[in-house]
Every structure is written in C-alpha cells, then in structure tokens.
Amino acid sequence: MTNGFTEFLVDQNASAPRTLLESIRLVSNASSGFCKSWLAQDISDAMATSAEAFGLLDHIQNELLRHRDRLDKLPNWQVSTMQVALQARIGDLIDPLNAAEKAAFQAQVAGDGSMPGGATIKDLRLVDALNKLKHRSSNTVNFSVSSTGQHTVFLLTLAGMGRPDTISSFNVDTFCRVCKAAAACV
C-alpha cells in the first residue's frame, strides 16, 4: 500500500466540534462527500475530506471512551444501556494478525481495502473499534468505496501494551448509527 493517500488522515490543526452528536453527524456527511469525491476521482477533495473526518473520529472515540471510563465504575455498569451500546457489533476484526496477513494488508492499493483472505474473522464491537481508532497506525489505513457509496474503513493497529497487531474494518454508516445509540446513553 502506498502512503500517498493515508499520511493526511490525521489533521493536527483540526478543532474539535462542540458536541458528540454533531461529530457523528459530520462524520456521516464527510463519508458521503468522501465517497462522491473518490468515485469522481477528485483525489484532492477526497484527501481533504478524509483529514476532516479523521479529526472528527478522534473526537468521537475520545468522548465515548471518556464517558465509558466515567460510567464503568457505577454498580449497574454491566447492564447499563451504555455498556450494551458499546458491545454492539459494528464490523470485523482479525486478532491476532499474523505476518502474512499483515504483509497482504500493507500491500493493498489505497481504495481497495479488504480483510486478507484466509484470515480468521471475529466480531468487532464498538468499544473495540474506538480503541482501534485511538491506537491505529496512521500510515496504514485503507478503505473501500462501493459503486453504491458504501464506505468501509480498514485500520491496522500495531502491537502494544501486551496486545498483538490487528486489522479491523467497519462500515462508516454502521459506525455512526451505533455511536449515536451510545451517545444517547451519556
């Protein structure tokens, strides 16, 4: 995979939106705009939109994880609506990732992201996706855009803190829908 389309994904100068729900709405809108630009081969517009979206995704994951950390100390945490929302399945996960799967993923062309063939796929829960976003390798992110505008993001998260390398993927619309449900619990 070339880094030409991924090194811009984190905008250090982006300002955080005012609310969590606003961030989720803006990610959904950015995803639509990104897909439109990518399919029209307007790469510079797609790159700018992606940079904005990843700033918003960073805000979303920070806010939801902050609320989780505040609420998980309460006695009813295990049955709380927030815990249920965080456990919702939103995509796919390869954990642990072996060297061949990692190499296959890194060799993918930008825009042709997919889970490496033959890998054992597990469910990706929202809470896991938030952590994968937080610890992603910013130069090894990929995506796919279908002709119908379905936008899927693929994240490589490198080993650390006793955890193996992983690849996770999620549909942006699904991510936003489940994040809205989690945000309603805070």
In this predicted model, what pLDDT tens digit does every residue of 121-158 receive, in sequence order?
999 999 999 999 988 887 789 999 988 889 999 999 98
Q: What angle do CA 176, 181, 183 make, to 5 degrees?
A: 90
Per-residue pLDDT for 9 more than 50? no
For the entire predicted model, the pTM comes to: 0.87
Measured in residues, the chain has a length of 186
Mean pLDDT of 108-121: 94
- Secondary structure letter of residue 160 according to DSSP: B
CB 172 within 8 A of CB 151: yes
> CA 179, CA 170: separation in Å to the nearest integer?
12
Domain limits for position 20: 3-183
CB 68 within 8 A of CB 60: no
**Residue-wise pLDDT tens digits, 18-66:** 799 999 999 999 999 999 999 999 999 999 999 999 999 999 999 999 9
Sign of CA dihedral 111, 50, 182, 69: positive
3-state class (DSSP) for residue 111:
coil
Among the listed residues 145, 186, 168, the one whose alpha carbon sits nearest the alpha carbon of residue 90:
168
Counting the structural domains of the chain, the total is 1
**Residue-wise pLDDT tens digits, 81-108:** 999 999 999 999 999 999 999 999 999 9
Higher pLDDT, 93 or 13: 93
Per-residue pLDDT for 10 more than 70? no
Return all residues near 165 (Cβ < 8 A) that are at least 6 apart: 96, 97, 102, 156, 157, 158, 159
